[in-house]
Homo-oligomer: A and B are copies of this chain.
Amino acid sequence: MDESAQSEHLNCILSNPVFAGLPALAAADVLAVSRLRSIAAGGVLVAQGATADRFGILLRGRARMTQLTSDGRQIALRYLVAGQEFGLIAALPDMVYPVTIEAVDDCQVLCWAGGRLAELFLRYPQIGLNALRIMVIRNQELQARYRQQLTERVEQRLARALLRLVTIAGEDIPQGRLINLPLAREDLAELIGATLFTVSRTLSQWEQSGIVCSGRERIAICHLDALEEIAGEPEPLPSECVAPCALAELLTAKRAALAT
């Protein structure tokens, strides 16, 4: 591993919420027990049902998190982009991945064996606190989506899904903002729990109103505000990668106070 790559990885570690607030020395320590892996497009990062033995941070590429139903249907939970972590569950023993994560692109992953992560939890308690915060936030997001699934219809859910995708993979083009992901109608359908037919119809309708501009596996949003209008209430949470863990500071302060 050359030096510039190493410092890039260090940056990535420091900016990821799992390792947020870690001193640089500790980050180097964390990096030391990591391994760099490359996964070709279409490969799996983690497999549903396999024992959860690996935690990772996506350095490059995009990945899709899906879940298989017992009757063979598939749903998509979300997309991962560079900088996001996955497989926190690997820190706990005797667990099984509940989802599959597949590489959409060629991906590069910085990863840790489950046992190594557990060691890091021990050496740097702050990581554990960060992990808790991440899980709490993920849970809130999922609850919000669950609620939307219960109360909203396809139009709203589709609008919301597109808005979410724009924030993680949006790219400016003349027509508006392109979602830079290979997104077939079926992929969207799996994301919102609908059929590709309904998705296609809805998109056609929006295309005619000039709200979106879609091609084969590509979708661009021309009028974000129109979509937000359809979606209704904005997502309340800043979702990903929010605030560094202030609890850690609080705790060190308390620690000092208790020591006196």
Contact = CB atoms under 8 A, between A and B. Distances in A.
Interface of A: 67, 69-71, 73, 75, 77, 88-89, 91-95, 98-99, 118-119, 121-123, 125, 128-129, 131-133, 135-136, 138-140, 142-147, 149-151, 192-193, 232-233, 243, 245-247, 250-251, 254-255, 258
Nearest to A95: B136
Contact of A151 (B135, B143, B193): B193
Contacts of A254: 118-119, 122
Contact of A93 (B149, B232, B246): B246
A143 B218 CA distance: 27
A121 B89 contact: no
Given A70-B233, A149-B150, A133 B92 contact: yes
A98 B142 CA distance: 11
Given A67-B147, A98-B144, A150-B192, 18 more contacts: A69-B233, A75-B146, A75-B151, A88-B132, A91-B132, A92-B132, A95-B136, A118-B254, A119-B254, A119-B258, A122-B255, A125-B125, A128-B132, A131-B132, A132-B132, A135-B136, A149-B149, A151-B193
A99 B135 contact: no
A149 B146 contact: yes
A141 to B, nearest CB: 10
A247 B93 CA distance: 6
B139 A69 contact: no
A136 B89 contact: yes
Contacts of A91: 132, 247
B99 A143 contact: yes
Contacts of A144: 98
A189 to B, nearest CB: 10
A139 to B, nearest CB: 5
